[in-house]
């Protein structure tokens, strides 16, 4: 029997691994010198095939029933994910990787706000304070993006953040709904949407290999791990751990291409990441007294005996 603590650790590891996979998006977007629509076409196709193969392996004959079970909520989540993917890849081309990832790090806080508006979920005061601080960090980045010509890219990153937050709220509200089929559907929808603008025959053999790694490794594996891990921990915690891709993404690009983030990006990013770390710390601190209190009370609601002699 798996304990809640073991489930929490497993979920944390899976979501953290997904963050590592997602953090390579900027690296692949720089490695593949093709137009963004062609990249989106192949990335979505390879990502969808990867997740579909996992569903077929995991559920075998029950796969069709699992797909039907996702319902309208799964379809809506898939549409949000598809639109977010299109915004994300375009944002990476129109802005710096660091800017896009730092703006994306505000996802857990935007999700908290949407959850309160749409579902009446009430977040802790520490999360709301961290949210305000994170948005302030994004504001620092926007102030520098306007004169540098990166404003459109940053706006697309913000749209991506809102769409991903909406998807997380849907998953939170429909926890019993299988979302892996929705993840695969969102990946397959992307090439269908961009097909009129894409040039599928353009990649050569080397570029096709990079696109396969981009789609299956960064997108498919990242989405798969996130979906599996998010079912074991709370949505807000999953989003917070997923923000680990923020500091990782510019590191890969800097190591490969020497792209140094601007000073305002360092400042804004530090504010956002400090807010994320602070909220995780407060969450852990708040959980500790509850755990200790549970340990101080027997299952029948009575306080524990003082020692072995008291209980016989």
What pLDDT digit, counting tens, does each position of 22-79 carry? 989 888 988 888 998 999 999 999 999 999 999 989 888 777 888 888 888 888 988 9
- Of 113, 112, 107, the C-alpha closest to 80 is 107
Residue 247 vs residue 103, higher pLDDT: 103
Structure tokens at 193: 């949407």
- Are the C-beta atoms of 161 and 173 separated by less than 8 Å? no
- Are the C-beta atoms of 153 and 41 separated by less than 8 Å? no
- Are the C-beta atoms of 106 and 135 separated by less than 8 Å? yes
* Angle (nearest 5°) at CA 167 between 178 and 126: 115
End-to-end CA distance of the chain: 29
Highest-confidence segment of 21-25, 176-180, 239-243, 299-303: 21-25
- If DSSP codes are grouped into helix, strand and coil, which group holds residue 261? coil
Res. 233: pLDDT tops 70:
yes
- Of 105, 88, 86, the C-alpha closest to 153 is 88
Res. 311: pLDDT tops 50:
no
Residue 263 vs residue 47, higher pLDDT: 47
Residue count of the chain: 312
| Segments making up each domain of the chain, as ranges | 15-287
Model confidence band, residue 269 (pLDDT cutoffs 50, 70, 90):
confident
Structure tokens at 272: 């956002």
Res. 207: pLDDT tops 90:
yes
Secondary structure (DSSP) of 209-250: HHHHIIIIIIIIIHHHHHHHHHTTS-HHHHHHHHTTHHHHHH
The predicted pLDDT at position 119 comes to 67
Return d(Cα 146, Cα 134) in angstroms, integer. Answer: 19
Res. 298: pLDDT tops 90:
no
The Cβ of residue 192 has, within 10 Å, a number of other Cβ atoms equal to 12
The predicted pLDDT at position 236 comes to 67
**Residues in CB range of 226: below 8 A, 6 or more apart:** 14, 15, 18, 22, 238, 242
- Are the C-beta atoms of 172 and 235 separated by less than 8 Å? yes
Burial of 127 (0-12, 13-18, 19+ CB in 10 A): buried
Res. 297: pLDDT tops 60:
no
Say if pTM beats, i.e. exceeds, 0.85: no
Res. 235: pLDDT tops 60:
yes
Q: What stretches of 91-249 adopt beta strand conformation (E)? A: none
Return d(Cα 111, Cα 97) in angstroms, integer. Answer: 22
- Are the C-beta atoms of 44 and 94 separated by less than 8 Å? no
Per residue in 73-123, pLDDT (tens digit) is 888 988 998 899 889 888 888 887 777 877 887 787 787 778 777 766 666
Secondary structure (DSSP) of 25-54: HHHHHHH--S-HHHHHHHHHHHHHHHHHHH
Backbone angles phi, psi at 105, to 5 degrees: -70, -15
- Of 247, 228, 179, the C-alpha closest to 22 is 247
- Are the C-beta atoms of 109 and 134 separated by less than 8 Å? yes
Residue 6 vs residue 20, higher pLDDT: 20
């Amino acid at each position: 029997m798996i304990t809640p603590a073991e489930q929490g650790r497993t979920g944390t590891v899976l979501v953290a691994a997904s963050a590592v996979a997602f953090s390579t998006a900027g690296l692949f977007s720089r490695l593949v010198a093709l137009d963004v629509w062609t990249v989106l076409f192949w990335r979505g196709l390879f990502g969808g095939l990867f997740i579909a193969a996992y569903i077929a392996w995991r559920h075998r004959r029950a796969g069709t029933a699992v797909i039907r079970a996702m319902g309208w909520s799964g379809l809506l989540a898939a549409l949000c994910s598809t639109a977010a993917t299109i915004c994300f890849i375009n944002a990476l081309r129109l802005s710096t990787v660091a800017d896009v990832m730092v703006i994306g790090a505000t996802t857990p806080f935007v999700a908290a706000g949407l959850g309160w508006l749409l579902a009446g979920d009430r977040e802790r005061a520490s999360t709301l304070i961290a949210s305000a601080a994170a948005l302030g960090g994004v504001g620092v980045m926007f102030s520098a993006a306007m004169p540098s010509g990166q404003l459109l890219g940053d706006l697309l990153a913000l749209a991506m953040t809102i769409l991903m937050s909406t998807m997380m709220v849907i998953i939170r509200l429909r926890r019993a709904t299988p979302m892996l089929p929705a993840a695969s559907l969102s990946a397959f929808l992307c090439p269908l949407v961009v097909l009129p603008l894409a040039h599928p025959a353009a990649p050569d053999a080397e570029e096709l290999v990079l696109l396969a790694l981009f789609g299956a490794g960064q997108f498919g594996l990242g989405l798969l791990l996130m979906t599996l891990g998010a079912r074991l921990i709370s949505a807000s915690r999953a989003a917070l751990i997923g923000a680990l891709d923020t500091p990782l993404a510019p590191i890969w690009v800097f190591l490969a291409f020497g792209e140094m983030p601007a000073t305002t990006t360092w400042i804004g990013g530090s504010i956002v990441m400090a807010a994320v770390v602070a909220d995780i710390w407060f969450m852990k601190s708040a959980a500790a007294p509850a755990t200790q209190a549970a340990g101080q009370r027997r299952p029948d609601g009575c306080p524990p005996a003082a020692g072995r002699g008291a209980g016989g």
